Structure 1
Amino acid sequence: MSVSVSPASSRTASVDPRRRPGPARLPRASKLRTAVAERLVRHALGGLPVRVRLAGRETIGQGGPLMDVRNPAAFFRRIGARGLLGFGESYMAGEWEAPDLVGLLSVFAENAATLVPGPLQRLRGAWAPRRPGRHRNTTSGSQANVSHHYDLSNELFALFLDETLTYSSALFRGFPAERQLLPAAQHRKIDRLLDLAQVGQGTQLLEIGTGWGELAIRAAQRGARVLTVTLSREQQTLAQQRIRAAGLQDRVTVLLRDYRKVLGRYDAIVSVEMIEAVGAEFWPEYFQTLDRLLAPGGQIALQAITMPHDRMLASLDTYTWVQKYIFPGGQLPSSEAIEQIVAGCTGLTTAARDGFGPHYAETLRLWRERFTERAEEVEALGFDEVFRRMWTFYLSYSEAGFRSGYLDVQQLLLTKGEAA
């Protein structure tokens, strides 16, 4: 990818500014702001176990995974203007490379809390981009946010997921995980959630977040009657096809519906990695909705990605690279935030919790490797090189978060007492 941005250039040569205006054009940033950003970045990288090569000449860092910054002027300018959002856009533009991207990003994740000096972290709101109002997870906003990611192309997801089309952490028996074992590991994860929720013959089950239907199929095969809701038209269409192919259309209903508009009472509710798309503003409403929909004596099994509470609080009002390019409106909760909302806003009780973050790192590794191997097929679907760099960065960034321990994934059991 020949993308060389000079300080005087306003556009990255091979990036279409109509499709990717962020990486295509260098943002405006004063010389002072750029100089301050460069000084801070140099100081932070100089103390880390990494090797950062600037324009093929100067090298900083304590040794470790290589970061090859081909255009330092553009790199520092982007960070000066947009912080970590600019860091990701610089990778999309081809201004820096890393032979071991996951290893490099893992070092950054391990040191996330100290990369920026404490006094400057308190000034984050003064320079970090603000989230656009259109990304709020209102009923209309949620539809658009979900569509941005999940309606890209069913064929795209099928290229790197396994045959179960399950887009959440698997549960392996051991590491390193082999690709052919991924379907069984996904079923192991699903079965564990269904066991937590005590789903069996005759259970009236609500699933919030259909995906492509694998959990609903697995639950129906146990004898449950399933209502599953999604905001993705692409997912709804393919899930319905898969459910019909399994001969379970009389036991599973797939609705295009916001979770807040679901009616009825259910013996059990399962929701897998959907809370991340709810938005912090709406977390209380999400759990209150679960409480409303669950019958007395019922169980809720959730799978949720979590982050440290202090980092969650620091990121609540900022606009991140992941939010701009991958999951508009997304926000990872902390375990503490979930506990506080469940205890303070609902009649539910957290009865069990189990984290298995390393399993997500392995799941993401398998997805990333398959995505890389099938780059030509991704291109044939109409996704350009900048998109492929963007998704490589997303998958690597996510894997690094779990591999470093910065992120975790948990299965939680919430219960509701019997009616008085």
Structure 2
Amino acid sequence: MTQIAATGWPGVEHTPHAPLKARAARALLKPTVNRLPVQVRFAGGGTWGAGDDSSARMDVLRPKALFHRLGADSKIGLGEAYMAGDWTVGENTDLAQLLTPFAERMATLVPVPLQRFRVFVDQQLPHQQRNSVEGSRRNIEAHYDLSNDLFAQFLDPSMSYSAAWFDGDEDLESAQMRKIDGILDQAGVTAGTRVLEIGSGWGALAIRAAQRGAQVTTITISTEQATLAEKRFAEAGVDVDLQLIDYRDITGEYDAIVSVEMIEAVGEEYWPTYFAAIDRLLAPGGKVSIQAITMAHHRYLKTRNSYGWIQKYIFPGGLIPSLEAIDENLAEHTSLAVTDRRSLGQDYARTLHEWRSAFTRNWEHIQEQGFDETFRRMWEFYLAYCEAGFAVGYLDVFQLQLTRPKEA
């Protein structure tokens, strides 16, 4: 388990000094906020926003620090300022509720005429976050190996860390099982099917597939997840072949290949390798089902070469594709094509809300593991930020079936 100490947050502990950029950030942000149905209240007086007293409210406790952070790095500054406590939510305001109006207007928060200059402010992904074999292991460890106990405090009993698929008012665990069954059905998994799962998580899908009578191989590069998954396989009484191996190194032939929200951690540079590996491993007549977070293609093109808060603090090396980018990679590097798809975007907003509620409810137990208040605010912002993105459709998530159409 990675210990998160009370210090060791250099981007948070030290407020950048960028007076000219801070003034520019303030000048750009004010007219934008004044068009939004929110209130932004500043310590010492002053209010921005088109909202009223019933609207979502941001309380800026340290205005100078906030604008210096935004000026120094517009894509990272808001999240770091929340982590540092420079701003917080107002009374009776939920964090995702506050972030939603911003997410709805994400493409125009910076005036369109000024967007041409983003090339001068966007940071490139650090070289150490490249998803080579070794880089992937470091990136995965930075998030998934934090602590199994941490994730157990906010995930449902299945330990599924991806979008659920709800039907009415059912609970999260049932919705996660529906999601898993949707993936397995899309891949045609039945008794005797040779299944490969790329990205084991904590084993819920592998268990479900084995319970169908499938021959299951699941692979991961997270040692923490592998340890708990093996324990869960034994408790469930299923026979699953778990291998601690990178997807680039797996061999064999499989009737069905499944991969849930793993493509986001592959990195654009390695998408051709990822899809080519799936194509190589899939038996004639086989089916693939992947669950992938996506964004609109024009947004993907604008963000593909930039480094943001999520990549710095949550998912190093991560990049969200578009459906078009997936189609292009399949066409150029495989014999596969998307033959069925199902959106779970609104289900993800609900999933994230439930995770955040559980995280907050169980914070005392999480804190006992050695995680500090900066970590708490970081994860609150992460979960709420993503919830808002899915709620307004800035982000989506799809279950995609891939087959070789000529074999159909």
* TM-score, with structure 2 as normaliser: 0.95
For the pair 1:65 / 2:59, whether they are aligned, the reply is no
Preserved CA contact (<8 Å) 2:5 2:370? no
Distance 1:16 1:155 in 2: 17
Gaps of 5+ in 1: 1-14
For the pair 1:19 / 2:8, whether they are aligned, the reply is yes
Other-structure match for 1:200: 190
Distance 2:256 2:150 in 1: 32
For the aligned residue pairs, the C-alpha RMSD in angstroms reads: 1.5
- Listed as ranges, the matches of 1:169-318 within 5 Å are 169-174=163-168, 177=169, 181-248=171-238, 251-318=239-306
Other-structure match for 1:156: 150
Other-structure match for 1:347: 335
Query: Deviation per CA, 1:18-77, whole angstroms, max 9, x where unpaired?
Result: 411111101232x22211111011121111111111115101111031011111110000
Among residues 304, 307, 315, which one is paired with 1:327 in the alignment? 315
Moved segments of 4+, more than 4 Å: 15-18, 417-420
Preserved CA contact (<8 Å) 1:298 1:417? no
For the pair 1:88 / 2:79, whether they are aligned, the reply is yes
Distance 2:34 2:49 in 1: 4
Give the C-alpha shift of residue 16 in structure 1: 7.0
For the pair 1:166 / 2:160, whether they are aligned, the reply is yes
Change (3 A) 1:184 1:17: closer
Give the C-alpha shift of residue 256 in structure 1: 1.0
Distance 1:226 1:16 in 2: 39
Distance 1:360 1:226 in 2: 27
Give the C-alpha shift of residue 119 in structure 1: 2.6
Among residues 27, 30, 42, which one is paired with 1:54 in the alignment? 42
Secondary structure of 1:229 counterpart = strand
Distance 1:349 1:405 in 2: 24
Preserved CA contact (<8 Å) 1:16 1:24? no
Q: Which amino acid aligns with 1:199?
A: V
Other-structure match for 1:133: 127
My pick for the range that moved more, 143-152 or 333-342, is: 333-342
Preserved CA contact (<8 Å) 1:17 1:24? no
Q: Which amino acid aligns with 2:58?
A: M
Distance 1:183 1:47 in 2: 40
Distance 1:382 1:186 in 2: 29
Taking only the aligned residue pairs, the percentage that are identical comes to 54
Other-structure match for 1:406: 394
Distance 1:206 1:190 in 2: 14
Preserved CA contact (<8 Å) 1:125 1:317? no
Preserved CA contact (<8 Å) 2:5 2:372? no
Query: Deviation per CA, 1:178-221, whole angstroms, max 9, x where unpaired?
Result: 6xx11111111101110111111111100000000010000001
Change (3 A) 1:373 1:18: closer
Other-structure match for 1:9: none
Preserved CA contact (<8 Å) 2:327 2:337? no
Query: Deviation per CA, 1:97-116, whole angstroms, max 9, x where unpaired?
Result: 11321011111110001000
* Relative contact order, higher structure (CA 8 A, sep 6+): 2
Secondary structure of 2:219 counterpart = strand
Give the C-alpha shift of residue 320 in structure 1: 0.5
Secondary structure of 1:84 counterpart = coil
Distance 2:233 2:5 in 1: 40
Distance 2:304 2:6 in 1: 29
Distance 1:17 1:310 in 2: 40
Query: Deviation per CA, 1:300-341, whole angstroms, max 9, x where unpaired?
Result: 001111111111111111110000000000001111111111
Gaps of 5+ in 2: none
Give the C-alpha shift of residue 17 in structure 1: 8.0
- Listed as ranges, the matches of 1:340-419 within 5 Å are 340-416=328-404
Distance 1:243 1:403 in 2: 34
Query: Deviation per CA, 1:355-388, whole angstroms, max 9, x where unpaired?
Result: 1211111111111001001111111111001000
My pick for the range that moved more, 336-345 or 109-118, is: 336-345
Query: Deviation per CA, 1:126-149, whole angstroms, max 9, x where unpaired?
Result: 123332100000000000000000
Secondary structure of 1:220 counterpart = helix
Q: Which amino acid aligns with 2:164?
A: A
Query: Deviation per CA, 1:212-264, whole angstroms, max 9, x where unpaired?
Result: 0010000001111111011100000000010011111xx31111111111111
Preserved CA contact (<8 Å) 2:6 2:372? no
Preserved CA contact (<8 Å) 1:17 1:25? no
* TM-score, with structure 1 as normaliser: 0.92
For the pair 1:107 / 2:93, whether they are aligned, the reply is no
Distance 2:242 2:405 in 1: 28
Distance 1:288 1:81 in 2: 40
Other-structure match for 2:28: 40
